[in-house]
């Protein structure tokens, strides 16, 4: 499973244009923990694993709209459709669905 986790972490980093530290921040854990997951020395708790999978989905959806550098800017900039919050903050707060909703609106061209 370490290989699968490492692949998913790599996908998030590459497609989102974000660092390992930022991945850890989004997952509410430490860079050291993410490094241990990547190396297969430990496994994430089921809730963290599921959140990683949801984050990977979010980044994949965002990748349909933006190249990695722009995706990173989008994640860490205040957004009008989130009431001025940064998508990264909403993700870190466990409100990933809010961000997925905005991405869906952007993909549909429905700018509320």
Confidence grade of residue 2 (pLDDT, cut at 50, 70, 90): low
The chain-wide mean pLDDT, for the chain, equals: 94
Each residue's pLDDT tens digit, 26-68: 999 999 999 999 999 999 999 999 999 999 999 999 999 999 9
State both tokens at 68. 């990695």
pTM of the model: 0.90
Q: What 3-state DSSP class applies to 111?
A: coil
Rounded to 5°, the CA angle 70-75-76 comes to 100
Please, which residues have CB within 8 angstroms of residue 90's CB and are 6 or more apart in sequence?
A: 82, 96, 98, 99
State both tokens at 93. 């707060």
């Amino acid at each position: 499973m370490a290989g699968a986790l490492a692949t998913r972490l790599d996908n998030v980093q590459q497609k989102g244009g974000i660092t390992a530290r930022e991945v850890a921040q989004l997952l509410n854990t430490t860079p050291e923990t993410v490094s241990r997951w990547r190396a297969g020395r430990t496994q994430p708790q089921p809730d963290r694993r599921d959140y990683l999978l949801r984050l990977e989905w979010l980044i994949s959806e965002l990748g349909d709209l933006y190249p990695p550098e722009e995706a990173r800017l989008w994640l860490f900039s205040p957004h009008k459709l989130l009431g001025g919050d940064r998508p990264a903050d909403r993700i870190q707060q466990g409100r990933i669905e809010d961000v997925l909703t905005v991405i869906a609106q952007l993909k549909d061209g429905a700018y509320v």
